[in-house]
Amino acid sequence: MRDRLRDRGLLLFETGNFGDVRLDRLALVPRFQYPDHLFFFSTDNITRLLSLSGFELLDMHRYSLGADLLRWRLSSALKSKSAAAHACKGHPQEVVSPSSPLKARIEFLSRYGIGSLFPRHDHHQTLIVVARKA
């Protein structure tokens, strides 16, 4: 990415920050979406990785995932109830809810709107990282 970036260009990326989460808080996450998430980054190793790759960290924007986790748990509970109701009626167990613009807006609001209000360093969060060539 460094070789493809223009001299005054910016590198922007988003990643989870589970490397800085207190161990007692990790129990709140029911699954870590393997195999999508193979590594858990912390602010220290992101900064080090950028430096080793020839980048200078400019900024990190933190967004708490607390509201997002709560939304996910509520959604999972509703899906479980819906699947149980369908199973009682002789329908297949798996119920897939279609993606919708409203669902996308709710997800965006819970992560970035509400999440920007409580960016605690030692809790579940997502980071938006801004860097440039060193």
pLDDT tens-digit series, residues 66-98? 887 788 778 878 877 666 565 556 555 444 455
What's the pLDDT band for 129 if we cut at 50, 70, 90? very high
- Tell me the domain boundaries of the chain: 10-133
Which DSSP string do the residues of the chain spell out, in sequence order?
Answer: -TTTS-TT-EEEEEEE--TTS-HHHHTT-S---TTT------HHHHHHHHHHTTEEEEEEEEEE-HHHHHHHHHHHHHHHHHHHHHHHTT--S---PPP-HHHHHHHHIIIIITGGG---TTS-EEEEEEEEE-
Q: What is the pTM of this model?
A: 0.70
